[in-house]
Amino acid sequence: MTQQDTMARPIVRLDQNHRRSRAVIAGGMVYLAGQVADDKSGDIVAQTREALGKVDALLAQAGTDKSRAVTAQIWLADMADYDGLNAVWDEWVVPGQTPTRCCGRVELADPAFRVEIVVTAALP
């Protein structure tokens, strides 16, 4: 596949509304919006597992998977949750296929959110 073939593909938006798309496929890549848990009552472990499950589902819908993740941004409401996040993250990533990653503390959209995860992955 040439660069011209990749650039000629249409941009595909998944689960789109007037404000955002949950995923955008463009140029051989899948760009995910930030994923958070639906169950905001869970601790960092539960919320991280749920957010990563949503990442897995969106990547599958786009035709790829976490082994092709190239980068991840992780936002925590409290850096005290860092170890709990990492415990789940370390189980989730594919050994030898870890993406680049950054993690920082931010004020999330809802105070009940503990974590938000943004992933970008390559298509096969």
Per-residue confidence at 5, pLDDT binned at 50, 70, 90? Answer: low
Q: What is the pLDDT at residue 2?
A: 59
Whole-structure pTM value: 0.92
Question: With left for phi above 0 and alpha for psi between -120 and 50, is residue 97 left, alpha or beta?
Answer: alpha
Give CA–CA dist 29/73, Å, rounded.
16
Q: Which CATH class is domain 3-122?
A: alpha beta
Cβ atoms of residues 66 and 92 within 8 Å: yes
Cβ atoms of residues 46 and 37 within 8 Å: yes
Q: What is the pLDDT at residue 8?
A: 75
How confident is the model over 47-101, as pLDDT tens digits?
999 999 999 999 999 999 999 999 999 999 999 999 999 999 999 999 999 999 9
